[in-house]
Amino acid sequence: MLKVSAVMEKMKDWQDGYFKLVAKVEEPVLKYTEKAADAVSEYVPERPDWEFLEDVPTFSEFVDSQLKFRKRLVDEQAAFVRKMMKAMHPALVKMETKAPATPRVRKPATRVVKAA
């Protein structure tokens, strides 16, 4: 089984805490956004049937395309990071290889006796 260092464990705890915080903040934001959208929806006109708008994506189409782009961007950057790690291997291998643990020898406690 893979041993996780205390530093990595703490980092994961912070990351999990971040996502918990974001989830707490998202809920009220979504709630109030929905209320605001309901309040103004009667004043928002229908999309006009103008010829030039045929080439303009809807909001849903635009958001979907940007989410696909985001995934591609993250995937390609992850691949680049892996290639960089491979390229840096000759230098990193020295830092990646842990030195054998040296046994710690406990020194006997010394007492200081004050002269009277």
Q: Cα 96–100–102 angle (5° rounding)?
A: 135
Residue 74: per-residue pLDDT: 97
Would you kindly state where each structural domain of the chain is located, as residue ranges?
7-44, 56-96
Do the Cβ atoms of 92 and 85 come closer than 8 Å? Answer: yes
Residue 116: per-residue pLDDT: 63
How far is residue 84's CA from residue 95's CA, in Å, rounded to a whole number? 15
pLDDT along the chain (116 residues), means of 10: 78 96 96 97 92 93 97 97 93 76 70 69
Residue 52: per-residue pLDDT: 92
pTM score, whole prediction: 0.58
How far is residue 21's CA from residue 15's CA, in Å, rounded to a whole number? 10
